[in-house]
Structure 1
Amino acid sequence: MNAASAILISAIAMTLIVGVRYLIVSGAFALATRWRFPGLYAGLDPQIRREIRWSLASAAIYGIPAGMVAWGWQNRGWTQIYSDIHAWPLWYLPLSVLFYLFAHDTWFYWTHRWMHRPRPFRIAHAVHHASRPPTAWAAMAFHPYEALTGAVVIPLLVFSIPIHVGALGLVLTIMTVMGVTNHMGWEIFPRFMWRGHLGAWLITASHHQRHHEQYRCNYGLYFRFWDRFCGTDRGVGSFDER
């Protein structure tokens, strides 16, 4: 098999993985929502179908570069991903996870804030905000232009910042879980994670809910650092009783 065919197969495989991961994780949290708050998504079936369609299209946009990078890592050693846990000191493992999360959060904050300028919002980001209210299926409901801005960040990071393959898996898991839980319309995490000293710096659904209510605030993904530093933090929101 030549390299082009192998890269194509890797891209298709990663697209399927991203799509199936989305369906499983979003589906699980949607079921949890129906169990915890029956009727919360009542009347939203057309919106949910739209969210799923956009999200599966986004899965391909995320999966293609991820598949190319995965092939390059395994066959050409292009990336800084390592599998030997002793290649770097053990203390670097958690540090690398924090590096990736902070870098991703920084990229997300500034691209997300840019997406709220009138023209980018009208062209692309309005697709995501068409979910009123957002549901557990909305985390990847992006216009392709917006999906592209999110799809490149992790592939770019693995070329520049060393990370163990297991730590990278943890980063991707956190990314997936936070993306879904921030949109599902209720707070799944304990109070100390969104109130008090820890909650002052972490983003959960209570914080992101206010972004979907007011638009011009709370742009972050994992941490409130950039929102607080730039004066765009408006605290936590509330959830309508439906």
Structure 2
Amino acid sequence: MALDAPLVAVLVSAFAMTAIVGVRYLLTSGLFAWITARVRPGHYKGLDRQIRSEIAWSLASAAIYGIPSGVVAWGWREHGWTRIYTDVHDQPLWWLPVSVLVYLLLHDTWFYWTHRWMHRPRVFRIAHAVHHASRPPTAWAAMSFHPTEALTGAVVIPALVLLVPIHVGALGIVLTIMTVMGITNHMGWEMFPRALVHSPLGRWLITASHHQRHHESYRCNYGLYFRHWDHLCGTDAGLSQAFSRP
């Protein structure tokens, strides 16, 4: 029995987005792994088996991220479901940068609280232990999630574009920041200057120095982009002392 055209279009969109997410992961994580090999030769020595596991879990996560994104992308193109707009004049120009910040703050809030929830012992064993099996994390670990954890992350951007207006270019910036920070926070070394990391601004931003402490101590430093929830909730344990920028 032949599938009807709309269903085929949805499936094609979901498959295409899955492929895009997977290829993006391989290219970006591969790039930062290559940079690590040049800047810190031997930094991932002996981690080949772990890296293979990280890549396998990450490619599975690509499908979990790609399917809802593909469905929403189809709904945007065919039915205008989302609040994504292409004409910069559809919203006030000041909203372009503000929308990026709003998306990051909302995503960060969702991540902080779901991340804390996944550190409850039973949930941790079921879902989050896969991510923490990376000891130490590498540039390949940014999407190394159990499907349950991947699902909590996969719904955020599709939900936001249904509710909060954003220009397609601003959305691209959000996705770029999400990808780059997800990878650089797991590289096992700090690529940003010490002057930034240890500055007053750095006290509110999450970089590898901050997230590494989470992988060392588990019950602290739960944020994704910003440290305000960790500060407010008393879960900020500061920076890891295990490494520094060369």
Matched residue type, 1:142: F
Show the counterpart of 1:32. 35
In the alignment, is residue 223 of structure 1 matched against residue 226 of structure 2? yes
Work out the CA distance in 1 between the residues paired with 2:30 and 2:176.
15
Contact 2:189 2:243 (8 Å CA) reproduced: no
C-alpha displacement of 1:128:
0.2
CA distance in 2, matches of 1:51, 1:94: 34
* Cα contact 1:58–1:147 (8 A) shared by 2: yes
Corresponding residue for residue 145 of structure 2 = 142
CA distance in 1, matches of 2:123, 2:144: 16
| Structure 1 residue 159: Cα displacement | 0.7
Aligned residue for 1:17, secondary structure, equals helix
Runs of 4+ in 1 over 4 A off after TM superposition: none
1:170 has 2:182 as partner:
no
| Residue matched to 2:53 | 50
For residue 239 of structure 1, report the CA deviation from its aligned partner.
2.9
Deviation at 1:190, TM superposition (A): 1.6
The aligned runs of 1:59-70 (5 Å cut-off) are 59-70=62-73
Task: Note the C-alpha offset of 1:10.
Answer: 0.2
Q: Is the 8 A contact 1:124 1:146 kept in 2?
A: yes
- Aligned match of 1:232 in 231, 235, 240? 235
Paired with 2:185 and 2:196, the residues of 1 have a C-alpha distance of: 13
Q: Which amino acid aligns with 1:86?
A: H
Scaled by the length of structure 1, the TM-score of the pair is 0.98
Share of identical aligned residues, percent? 73
Residue 98 (structure 1) shift: 0.4
Superposed CA deviations along residues 19-56 of structure 1, whole A, max 9, x for unmatched, are 00000000000000000000110000000000000000
In the alignment, residue 164 of structure 1 is paired with which amino acid?
Answer: H
Q: Equivalent residues in 2 for 1:185-200 (5 A)?
A: 185-200=188-203
- Of residues 57, 60, 85 in structure 2, which corresponds to 1:82? 85
**TM-score, structure 2 as length reference:** 0.96
Classify the secondary structure of the residue corresponding to 1:228.
helix
In 1, the alpha carbon distance for the partners of 2:11 and 2:196 equals 42
Letter in 2 for 1:218: N
Structure 1: runs of 5+ lacking an equivalent: none
Q: CA deviation at 1:240?
A: 5.0
**Partners of 1:109 and 1:219 within 8 A in 2:** yes
Amino acid at match of 2:159: L
Q: Within 5 Å, which residues of 2 pair with 1:201-216?
A: 201-216=204-219
Q: Supply the distance in 1 between the matched residues of 2:88 and 2:192 (Cα, whole angstroms).
A: 31
Please give the secondary structure, in 1, of the residue aligned with 2:88.
coil
Give the Cα–Cα distance (whole angstroms) in 2 for the partners of residues 50 and 84 of structure 1.
42
Match of 2:74 in 1: 71
Confirm whether residue 157 of structure 1 aligns to residue 198 of structure 2.
no
Deviation string, structure 1 residues 142-162 (Cα, Å, up to 9, x no partner) = 000000000001000001100
Q: Which residue does 2:185 correspond to in 1?
A: 182
Give the partner amino acid of 2:200. Answer: H
Letter in 1 for 2:199: G
Gap regions ≥5 residues in structure 2? none
| Match status 1:18 vs 2:21 | yes
Give the root-mean-square deviation of aligned CA atoms.
Answer: 1.0
